[in-house]
Amino acid sequence: MKIAFFTETFLPKVDGIVTRLTKTVQQLVAAGDEVLIFCPEGAPETYMGARVVGVPAMPLPLYPELKLALPRPAVSEALDRFGPDLVHVVNPAVLGLGGIWLARSRGLPLVASYHTHLPKYLEHYGMGMLEPLLWELLKAAHNQAQLNLCTSTAMVEELASRGIQHTALWQRGVDTDLFRPELASSAMRQRLHGGHDDTGHLLLYIGRLSAEKQIDRIRPVLEAMPQTRLALVGDGPHRQQLERHFEGTATTFVGYLAGEELASAYASGDAFLFPSSTETLGLVLLEAMAAGCPVVGANRGGIPDIVSDGVNGCLYDPDQPASLPTAVERLLGDPAARRQLRLAAREEAERWGWPSATAQLQGYYRQVLNRGRLQQVA
């Protein structure tokens, strides 16, 4: 197959969408598919055998890490030269809307996928009143597609309830060869401790430092458990606010890590905390679990698809302020139970490889293509 992706975010940005997309492209090319990627400028010209077309873009005012790329004639020319069998639009916003129009105007089969719960983000940026309007815009865009993929059962149900048609689950994936318990190290723990003595428990958050991730909710955990230390791995637009919020606490701002350093950080923590209640999936939770780090996540969105409370991690109620500290104390309080959670977390992660997730996606592509052929015959 020849597949053209339109995505609002790609390399060099680091987030769960980029991880899923890069792993998917790698698997598709390895299987013999041809791939063309349209994304905001700044990415390499090729990636794992796929050609990448960078489109001039402007930073989003509220979120400079995200860039808005406006489609232009060069995009349609490159698409026509490639001659795709199918177009896949990832999180359609601006560039993705152009991809939808180009696909529809050429009669190309169209798949869209929903990865970021943008309507729920609005309240964290003081624009909650726009949520109904955004849902209407998303419905209008996604209902142009023959298939709308979601990364958790909760999002399949939510989009269907909002009037978005033809929804299906795109199963999760994680690199269990990279993220593994054996990479735990005392040197990495020392780094995560910020050079302080390695006493007490080491709590981790890894991901984007942004308002919708609700990282500020971790401070009461540190206050309730003074022998713990927190390492925040990553960066983002909310870093300065978080530095002020965590001032006076045992918190280390580590910055970005990648590759085996990132995997070692996951493996070296005593608990991974993911307070966000706006996640469509939460890929970092799967990475932590693959590394054998017990997790605490919100009982909301896509997270319960991954975390079974008391089995392979702990869930907390984001509507109850005391619930997160209680869940962390429950996880850390019993060393034997924590060891069992580590084992169960790794076992859960081993069920979800990128090859099987991409094989499922290829099956969806074939279904859409076959449906289009049948309609042409009819």
Per-residue pLDDT, averaged over 191-201, amounts to 88
Residue 228: which region, alpha, beta or left (left: phi > 0; alpha: psi -120 to 50)?
Answer: beta
Separation CA 69–CA 83 (nearest Å): 22
Weakest-pLDDT range from 130-144, 170-184, 294-308, 323-337:
130-144
Tell me the pLDDT of the chain averaged across its residues.
Answer: 91
Separation CA 158–CA 101 (nearest Å): 25
Q: What integer pLDDT is reported at residue 129 of this predicted model? A: 73
Confidence of residue 146 (pLDDT cuts 50, 70, 90): very high
Q: 254-294 pLDDT, tens per residue?
A: 999 999 999 999 999 999 999 998 887 889 999 999 999 99
Q: Are 173 and 23 in contact (CB under 8 A)?
A: yes
pLDDT at 343 > cutoff 90: yes
Separation CA 42–CA 44 (nearest Å): 7
Examine residue 226 and say whether the peptide bond preceding it is cis (omega within 30 degrees of 0): no
Q: What integer pLDDT is reported at residue 197 of this predicted model? A: 82
Confidence of residue 377 (pLDDT cuts 50, 70, 90): very low
Q: What integer pLDDT is reported at residue 255 of this predicted model? A: 95
At position 25, the amino acid (one-letter code) is: V
Q: What integer pLDDT is reported at residue 325 of this predicted model? A: 97
Per-residue pLDDT, averaged over 197-225, amounts to 93
Separation CA 1–CA 369 (nearest Å): 10
Q: Are 62 and 119 in contact (CB under 8 A)?
A: no
Confidence of residue 120 (pLDDT cuts 50, 70, 90): low
pLDDT at 30 > cutoff 80: yes
The answer for residues whose C-beta is within 8 angstroms of residue 256's C-beta and 6 or more apart is 14, 233, 234, 235
Q: What integer pLDDT is reported at residue 128 of this predicted model? A: 66
At position 77, the amino acid (one-letter code) is: E
**Residue 220, token pair as written in the block:** 């009461």
Q: What integer pLDDT is reported at residue 123 of this predicted model? A: 65
Q: What integer pLDDT is reported at residue 132 of this predicted model? A: 79
Between residues 338 and 128, the one the model is more confident about: 338
At position 311, the amino acid (one-letter code) is: V
Per-residue pLDDT, averaged over 51-77, amounts to 83
Separation CA 196–CA 233 (nearest Å): 16
Between residues 14 and 320, the one the model is more confident about: 320
Per-residue pLDDT, averaged over 48-57, amounts to 95
Separation CA 145–CA 87 (nearest Å): 10
Give me the domains of the chain, ranges plus CATH numbers.
2-173+353-377 (3.40.50.2000), 181-349 (3.40.50.2000)
Confidence of residue 119 (pLDDT cuts 50, 70, 90): low
Between residues 53 and 68, the one the model is more confident about: 53
Weakest-pLDDT range from 34-48, 107-121, 194-208:
107-121
Closest CA to 229 of 212, 246, 209, 211: 246
- The reply to whether the predicted model has a pTM over 0.85 is yes
Per-residue pLDDT, averaged over 78-103, amounts to 94
Q: What integer pLDDT is reported at residue 216 of this predicted model? A: 96
Q: Are 69 and 79 in contact (CB under 8 A)?
A: no
